[in-house]
Amino acid sequence: MPGRCAFCLAPAVPARPWCQDCFESLPWNLPACPSCAEPQPPGSLAGRRCGRCLKLPPSFVRSHVPLRYEGEVARLMQHFKFSASPRAGSILLELLQFSLPADSLAWPEALVPVPLHPSRARERGFDQADWLARRLAKRHGFPLRHAQRHRHTRSQRGLDRVERFRNLRDSFQVVGALPPRVALLDDVMTTGATLDALAQACRAAGAREVEAWAVARTPLSES
C-alpha cells in the first residue's frame, strides 16, 4: 500500500517502503568480514578480516553485503527469486541501494551481474541478478557489462564450501575488455564461490580491482 511499510503496514518513512522500527529490526550483516562479508560472531572487531580471507584472500578486493539471509529478508528473497515478484525485488533493491555508501556507489566503472547459465535461465524464466543490476545501473549511470556462464555447473545447493569453489572453477567468461574498477552484483552470497569465480574472469578481461555486491549473506552457521 502506498505510504505504508511493506513489512507491517504502519506509516512508512517518507519515500521508503519501510517504517523505522522494521528497518532497524532487519537482520543486518554486522559485524562482517570486509573481504568476503561472512557474518562474524557478536563482539568481533569491525573491519577485521576473517581467518579464511587471511589465509586465502578472494579474487575481489572487498564486499558490500548489508543483510543476512534470514527472517523477513529470506522471505522477500524467496518471493523474488522463485516467484519473480517485482514488489519483493524492488524492496530488496531499495535496501541494497540505501545501504551502499555514497563513495561505493561512485566507485565502479562497470557493473557485472552474476549470470545464470542460459538453460537454467530458460528453466526458471527469470534472472534475478540481471533484474537488480539493470535497475541499479540505470539509477546510478553505471555501464552494464555481461559475463557468460559457458560451463553448465551442477547446482550449488547441498555442496560444502570446498565443493562450491571447485564446482565453479573456470565457469565464467567476459568478452571484451573491462575498465579498471568493476563491481559484481548477485542477490545472495553464500560462500562467495560464485563471485570469486566471476571476479577471476573479470580480472582476466582487464579489471584491476573488483568489488562484490549482494543483497544478503547466508548466516555463519550455513556457510
For the segment 46-71, what is each residue's pLDDT rounded down to a tens digit? 788 999 899 989 999 999 999 999 99
Tell me 12's DSSP state: P
Q: Is the pTM of this model over 0.75?
A: yes
Task: Tell me which residue has cell 519483493.
Answer: 88
Angle separating helix axes 86-99 and 71-83, nearest 10 degrees: 130
* Cβ 108 vs Cβ 181: under 8 Å: yes
For the chain, where are the E strands, in sequence order?
A: 62-64, 67-68, 110-113, 148-149, 172-173, 181-189, 209-217
Q: What pLDDT shows up at residue 101?
A: 92
Domain boundaries in the chain? 29-222
What does the block give as the cell for 122?
A: 530458460
Parallel/antiparallel/unpaired status of strands 67-68 and 181-189: unpaired
Tell me 39's DSSP state: B
pLDDT values of the chain reduced to their tens digit, one per residue, 223 residues: 679 999 999 999 999 999 999 999 999 999 999 999 999 988 887 788 999 899 989 999 999 999 999 999 999 999 998 899 999 999 999 999 999 999 999 999 999 999 986 777 777 778 999 999 999 999 999 999 999 987 555 454 555 555 555 656 667 899 899 999 999 999 999 989 899 999 999 999 999 999 999 999 998 654 4
Q: Judging by beta carbons within 10 Å of its beta carbon (0-12, 13-18, 19+), is residue 182 exposed, middle or buried? A: buried
Q: Give dist(CA 5, CA 189) in Å, integer.
A: 26
Q: Hey, what amino acid is at 103?
A: D
**Cα–Cα distances in Å, from 91 out to 46, 54, 127?**
27, 34, 17
For the segment 93-126, what is each residue's pLDDT rounded down to a tens digit? 999 999 999 999 999 999 999 998 677 777 777 8
- CATH node for 29-222: 3.40.50
Parallel/antiparallel/unpaired status of strands 62-64 and 172-173: unpaired
Report the 10 Å Cβ neighbour count for 163: 14
Task: List alpha helices for 56-127, DSSP H.
Answer: 71-83, 86-99, 102-105, 118-124
Task: Tell me which residue has cell 545464470.
Answer: 116
Q: What pLDDT shows up at residue 222?
A: 45
Tell me 203's DSSP state: H
